[in-house]
Amino acid sequence: MPLSRIQQLLEEKTGLDLASLGHQALEHAIRDRMRQSGCSNREDYWQRLRGCPTEQQELVECLRVPETWFFRDAPAFATLIEWIKKIWLPQHPRDPLRLLSAACSTGEEPYSMAIALLEAGISPDRFHVDAWDISHQALAKAERAFYGRNSFRPNSRTRPGPFLCSESNGYSVCPSVRNQVRFRQANLLSAPEPVMTPVYVAVFCRNVMIYFTPRAREKVLANLTSLVFPAGLLFVGPAETGLLRQHPFQPWGALKAFAFQRTNHSLGVDRNLRTAAPGLREKAVKVSDFGYNRARKDRPLDSSQTSNHCHESRSAAPFISTADPKNTPVIETEFGTSLAKAESLANSGRLHEAARLCERLLQAETPQAASYHLFGLIQEALGRKDTAEDYHRKALFLDPHHPGALRHLALIREQQGDLVSARRLRQRAQRACASTELQTTV
Give me the pLDDT at residue 435, please: 62
Does residue 164 lie within any of the structural domains? Answer: yes
| 66: CB partners within 8 A, 6+ apart | 105, 106, 138
Does residue 68 lie within any of the structural domains? Answer: no
Q: What mean pLDDT is predicted for residues 359-377?
A: 78
Q: What mean pLDDT is predicted for residues 436-442?
A: 48
Share of the chain above pLDDT 70, in %: 75
329: number of Cβ within 10 Å: 8
Does residue 361 lie within any of the structural domains? Answer: yes
What stretches of 47-163 adopt beta strand conformation (E)? Answer: 97-101, 127-133, 146-147
Does residue 431 lie within any of the structural domains? Answer: yes
226-247: string of b/e by CB count within 10 Å (b at 16+)? ebbbbbbbbbbbbbbbbbbeeb
CA geometry: angle 262, 265, 269, nearest 5 deg: 70
Assess whether 59 and 79 both reside in one domain. Answer: no
Does residue 287 lie within any of the structural domains? Answer: no
Q: What mean pLDDT is predicted for residues 126-140?
A: 94
Give the domain CATH number at 390: 1.25.40.10
Assess whether 365 and 309 both reside in one domain. Answer: yes
Assess whether 322 and 215 both reside in one domain. Answer: no
Give me the pLDDT at residue 121, please: 94
Of 274, 290, 315, the residue at which a domain comes to its end is 274
Q: Work out the pLDDT band at 336, boundaries 50, 70, 90.
A: low
Residues in the chain: 442
d(CA 294, CA 312): 26
Of 63, 83, 102, the residue at which a domain comes to its end is 63
- Among 76-80, 126-130, 403-407, the least confident range: 403-407
Does residue 363 lie within any of the structural domains? Answer: yes
DSSP 212: B
Give me the pLDDT at residue 165, please: 87
Assess whether 218 and 141 both reside in one domain. Answer: yes
pLDDT tens readout for residues 265-289: 433 333 333 333 333 333 332 222 2
pLDDT at 420 over 70: yes
* Helix, coil or strand: residue 201: strand
d(CA 81, CA 138): 27
Does residue 288 lie within any of the structural domains? Answer: no
Assess whether 425 and 379 both reside in one domain. Answer: yes
What's the chain's average pLDDT? 76
Of 63, 95, 110, the residue at which a domain comes to its end is 63
* Residue that wins the pLDDT comparison between 221 and 243: 221
Q: Strand 146-147 to strand 170-173: parallel, antiparallel, or no bridges (unpaired)? A: antiparallel
* Residue that wins the pLDDT comparison between 366 and 318: 366
pLDDT tens readout for residues 374-410: 888 888 877 787 788 888 888 887 788 888 888 888 8
Assess whether 88 and 215 both reside in one domain. Answer: yes
Q: Which domain holds residue 130?
A: 75-274
Assess whether 386 and 325 both reside in one domain. Answer: yes
Assess whether 198 and 249 both reside in one domain. Answer: yes
Helix (H) or strand (E) holding 79: helix 75-83
Give the domain CATH number at 200: 3.40.50.150
Q: Strand 249-252 to strand 146-147: parallel, antiparallel, or no bridges (unpaired)? A: unpaired
pLDDT tens readout for residues 172-228: 999 999 999 999 999 998 866 554 456 899 999 998 888 888 889 999 999 999 899
Assess whether 371 and 258 both reside in one domain. Answer: no
pLDDT tens readout for residues 298-311: 333 232 333 333 43
Give me the pLDDT at residue 101, please: 97
Give me the pLDDT at residue 240, please: 86
pTM metric for this prediction = 0.65
d(CA 37, CA 290): 63
Does residue 388 lie within any of the structural domains? Answer: yes
DSSP 192: P
Q: Which of 74, 143, 87 is nearest to 115 (CA)?
A: 74
Q: Work out the pLDDT band at 358, boundaries 50, 70, 90.
A: confident
* Residue that wins the pLDDT comparison between 335 and 401: 401
CB 245 within 8 Å of CB 284 = no
Assess whether 247 and 324 both reside in one domain. Answer: no
Assess whether 197 and 159 both reside in one domain. Answer: yes
Burial class from Cβ neighbours inside 10 Å (0-12, 13-18, 19+) for residue 165 reads middle
d(CA 342, CA 350): 9
Assess whether 43 and 98 both reside in one domain. Answer: no
Indicate the number of domains in the chain.
Answer: 3
Give me the pLDDT at residue 264, please: 60
